A = this chain, B = another copy of it.
Amino acid sequence: MQADKFNKTMARQKASVDAGIERASQEQSVIVLLTGDGKGKTTSGFGMVFRALGYGQRVAVVQFIKGTQASGEELLLRNNFPEVPLVQMGTGFTWDTQNHAADQAAAVSTWQAAGAFLKNPSLDVLLLDELTYMLAYKFLDEASVLSALHQRSPQLSVIITGRGGGTGLRELADTVSEVKNVKHAYDAGIKARLGIDY
């Protein structure tokens, strides 16, 4: 790109960005839904949690699906930020347990913890990791979940990750990002790698 053309393009972009900032003037907490079939939803959700911690905000994390090993995010939270509440559903990946009744009971009890965080007036950010699957499997009542999210403490922003989640959740969410899998090393026979894939 030529220098003069570049400068004009940048000036136009800046004008458009500034106008957008001017228009968006409503201060309110938001619900962010990170969905889609691609890699990086949970990672992105935890990235937001760590960023909020960087600003000194108060955060809490609820994980509705948990692998059998402690993830790097979990280790980092526990070791470096022990003050952050971290609630994990106890049964591991549901396709490993294959016990419908136990999974549902675990989901309901985990949701109770989430419900308490949603009413907490001193939290800034709450991550509900993999919540969508609890709705897809009908472990949780969709109407109750949507209503608790909608009636949350007003300062609290909520990040929800997972594929799907249903129309109601998409409509309620202020921001929806979809992560699409374009290609994955795994499909080329490359082993999943610690620190990259999990």
A residues apposed to B, CB below 8 Å:
1, 3, 6-7, 10-11, 13-14, 17, 20-21, 23-30, 32, 34-36, 38-40, 42-48, 50-55, 57, 71-77, 79-80, 94-101, 124-125, 137-138, 157, 159, 170, 173-186, 188-196
Contact = CB atoms under 8 A, between A and B. Distances in A.
Contacts of A20: 186
A183 B189 contact: no
Contact of A180 (B17, B72, B170, B177): B177
Given A13-B95, A55-B195, A175-B183, 9 more contacts: A25-B189, A27-B191, A29-B196, A32-B185, A39-B177, A52-B196, A54-B71, A54-B77, A57-B194
A193 to B, nearest CB: 6
B195 A124 contact: yes
Given A44-B47, A73-B54, A75-B54, A24 B192 contact: yes
Contacts of A94: 10
A149 B196 CA distance: 16
A68 B32 CA distance: 25
